[in-house]
Amino acid sequence: MNTEQDVRIRVENLYKIFGPNPEKAFPLIDRGLSRSEILEKTGNVVAVRGVSFDIKKKETFVIMGLSGSGKSTVIRCLNRLIPATRGSIYVDDKDIMKMNKEELREVRRYTMSMVFQHFGLLPHRTVVDNVEYGLELGGMEKKERLEKALAAIELVGLKGYEQSFPHELSGGMQQRVGLARALANDPEVLLMDEAFSALDPLIRAQMQDELLELQAKMHKTIVFITHDLDEALKLGDRILILGPDGTARQVGTPEEILSDPADDYVARFVEKVDRTKVITVGSLMRKAPVITIPREGPGAASRAMENNKISSIYVVDSDRYLKGLVRIDDTVKLYRKKERALEPALIKDFYSAYEDTPIADLLAAALTAKYPIAVIDKDYRYKGIVDRATIINEVQVDAEELESPMHFTQMEECLLSKVQEAAAREEAEASGE
């Protein structure tokens, strides 16, 4: 095998056929019969049909497809939990299919770890005992495995919960335990089969963010399975899309898949995704200084704006509820008049959004807003701001990606250029000119 240096896993022409006589299915596959026709004629299920792909070192490789498209079967073939019917699977240039029991055990123990959708925790073991479990099976001595387990627990943010039992933890925390167990022996490859699919949406988004952060530190090879396109776009360096018949339809970066779908199936899968609908306010939000009333007044507000070289600043109360914003010229006037309270200067006509608001919903606001857009939670507590220029920039990128710039109507274009000027001014101002 002359494999490129940066390839960790290479899958060549993989077939998995479940049933009484898998070989009987191949002539029918060659004739192009469908999964259901082959099932009817032979009693075999063609779960994976001639799939080839490479996974690079340090990449997060997402396998995406609808339920039944063969995702779980593919990932289980990678560590031979399921033997492939035909094809080759190389891990670091070694053929998984040709390994003996001992070699296979080594690979599963040291090279690849799996994280499951339903956590797979042992209910009567504590967090630390669950995380140690794999190491224990591997025959590692107590002191060393405890050390490794504690380090993994800390890595996933569960320090302090070592002695808890799974049922005492939320779903998100239980999945962290699953992740810690997989990380405990420091594997090169993490296999994650719908690992976040059982979590509720908020926790799920949080786990995705944490996985991204963790991966930025760990640089593992991650194989992540999902049926959710947004999750795939968010996590994947590259994405493999499986069709409903168990064939590979496309491998590419999120951008390639969105902008250049390989066939009608992929196109239909992604057509409803528009960047401005995928990108949310949360991803563009930045923390910005705030003023807390009544503790701070016109003097503190003026000073904060001066120090940060900004002309307006948001105001919250001591519970961080958003009260409005103030402008520096108004606060300076109040200060000179020796006023103590900021209220007379509070401006209420600003735009606000939630972290999960798609920026598509904010375009109009970005085009007309006078101030940065405030990001709040559902209780109206302040989280941060999004600058109008940031939103406009996203839209511009989007416009450039389109072949025809006439995507914008003339009026929008006119507005856009005005806002770009204003944004440029704002930026100049922010940089202290």
Instruction: In angstroms, give the least distance from the CB of 104 to ligand ADP.
Output: 20
How many Å apart are CA 149 and CA 155, to the nearest integer?
10
- Of 20 and 432, nearer to ligand ADP (C-beta) is 20
What's the distance, Cα to Cα, between the start and end of the chain in Å? 60
17/127 with CB nearer ligand ADP: 17
DSSP one-letter code for 348: -
Nearer to ligand ADP, 114 or 158 (CB): 114
CA 198 to chain centre: 15
Least distance from C-beta 235 to Mg ion, angstroms? 17
Residue count at the site for Mg ion (CB under 5 A)?
1
Question: Taking the complex as a whole, how short is the minimal distance between the CB of residue 151 and Mg ion, in angstroms?
Answer: 30
- CA of 177: how far to CAs of 7, 63, 193, 249, in Å? 29, 23, 15, 34
**Based on CB atoms, which residue is closest to ligand ADP, 67 or 100?**
67
We find the least distance from the C-beta atom of residue 68 to Mg ion, in angstroms, to be 8
Q: CA dist 36 to 45, 46, 316, Å?
A: 8, 9, 61
C-alpha to C-alpha distance for 286 and 212, rounded to whole angstroms: 18
Name which of ligand ADP, Mg ion, none residue 178 binds, using a CB cut-off of 5 to 8 Å depending on partner kind: none
Q: Which is nearer to Mg ion, 68 or 138 (CB)?
A: 68
Residue 72 or 79: the one with the smaller Cβ distance to Mg ion is: 72
Q: Are 252 and 238 in contact (CB under 8 A)?
A: yes
- Where do contacts with ligand ADP occur on this chain (CB under 6 A)? 18, 45, 47, 65, 67-73
Nearest Cα neighbor of 181 from 118, 132, 220, 139 is: 132
Least separation in angstroms between CB 71 and ligand ADP: 3
CB 82 within 8 A of CB 16: yes
**Cα-based distances in Å from 46 to 10, 87, 263:** 21, 14, 21
User: HEC string of 122-149?
Assistant: CCCCCHHHHHHHHHHHCCCCHHHHHHHH
Closest separation in Å from C-beta 47 to ligand ADP: 3
C-alpha distances out from residue 168 to 126, 161, 171, 204, Å = 10, 10, 10, 19
Q: DSSP labels for 209-254?
A: HHHHHHHHHH--EEEEEES-HHHHHHH-SEEEEE-TTS-EEEEE-H
Stretch that binds Mg ion, among 66-74, 172-180, 212-220, 270-278 (CB under 5 A): 66-74
Nearer residue to Mg ion within complex by CB, 249 or 275: 249
Exactly one of 42, 44, 60, 72 binds Mg ion (CB under 5 A); that residue is 72
Q: From the CB of residue 8, how many other CB atoms can be counted at a distance below 10 Å?
A: 23
Q: Which does 69 bind (CB under 5 to 8 A by kind): ligand ADP, Mg ion, none?
A: ligand ADP
Comparing every residue's Cβ against Mg ion, the nearest one is 72
Element holding 102 (H helix, E strand):
helix 101-106
Closest CB to ligand ADP among residues 71, 275? 71
Partner interacting with residue 50 (select from Mg ion, ligand ADP, none; CB below 5-8 Å by kind): none
Q: How far is the CB of 38 from ligand ADP (least distance, A)?
A: 11
Least distance in Å: CB of 323 to ligand ADP?
Answer: 49
Query: From Mg ion, ligand ADP, none, which one binds at residue 322 (CB under 5 to 8 Å depending on kind)?
Result: none
297 binds, among ligand ADP, Mg ion, none (CB under 5 to 8 A by kind): none
In the complex, the residues that contact Mg ion under the rule CB under 5 A are 72
